[in-house]
Structure 1
Amino acid sequence: MQMHDMAALLLAGLAGGALGGFFFGGLWWTVRQAMSPGLAPGRAALWQLGSLLLRMGVTLLGFHAIGAGHWERLAACLAGFTVARCVATRMTRTTSRQAGRRAPAPGESSHAPQP
């Protein structure tokens, strides 16, 4: 494998990470916006649908452009996207889950002993 090929794979992986950051960052932002108290319930569904279409469209076009018929670049892009997913999952955990406790569901009592 030549140095040029390695650089292309590295750039494809970084681009996949950027696409993952855009996708999962946009998902996090959309969920927070949809849960805001000032947003009407019908608007929340429109926000989520519009965000899904935008995020999926940009991500698929990005994968298509980065892969450009080379499965190695596509695999590197997917690896970067997956790393971004792991980072986003770790960054958006709630503090109660980080402490090893399950957050109580809405309407669930939190004073009962945990098994």
Structure 2
Amino acid sequence: MNLPLSMQLLVSLLAGLLLGAIFFGGLWLTVKQLPKVSAPWLLFLGSALGRTLIILAGFWCVGIWLSESFRWQRTAVCLAGFIIARMMITRYTRSTNVPATGKSA
């Protein structure tokens, strides 16, 4: 089953957005939980390992997905989606942490 290249790239972009949301959203949630746990290093290490394994598996699946052709293009578009998700989550988390005066802490 071969989808057209445009459809493959669209799905790769969506996969990159999802992977970025998982990675950076998980990082944000982990950092928020660190002060509340008795062993923060264990939480951080486990979270980093889990998030990294999920991302590596996701990029690997996008790279070999469906066909032999256009592997690097799909992976590059997936990376672009990952970076876009990073920018979106950074903007969202920054806006929720800014005090009412508008100045950052």
TM-score (norm 2): 0.85
Partner Cα separation in structure 2 for residue 88 and residue 12 of structure 1: 19
State the Cα distance separating 1:102 from its structure 2 match: 3.3
Q: 1:66 aligns with which of 43, 62, 66?
A: 62
Where in structure 1 do 4 or more consecutive aligned residues deviate above 3 Å? none
Count of aligned positions = 96
Q: Are 1:30 and 2:34 matched, yes or no?
A: no
State the Cα distance separating 1:92 from its structure 2 match: 0.4
Equivalences for residues 1-115 of structure 1 within 5 A: 4-36=4-36, 39-40=37-38, 43-68=39-64, 70-93=71-94, 94-96=97-99, 99=102, 101-103=103-105
Deviation string 1:61-111 (CA, Å, 9 cap, x unpaired) is 100110116000000100000000000000101223981x231xxxxxxxx
Contact 2:17 2:82 survives alignment (8 Å): yes
Structure 1 unaligned blocks of 5 or more: 104-115
Residue aligned with 1:7, SS: helix
Larger gyration radius, structure 1 or structure 2? 1
Partner Cα separation in structure 1 for residue 101 and residue 86 of structure 2: 18
Higher relative contact order (CA 8 A, sep 6+): 2
TM-score (norm 1): 0.78
Partner Cα separation in structure 1 for residue 7 and residue 62 of structure 2: 13
> What amino acid does structure 1 have at the position aligned with 2:9?
L
Calculate percent identity across the aligned residue pairs.
43
Structure 1 residues 13 and 52 mapped into 2: Cα distance closer, same or farther (>3 Å)?
same
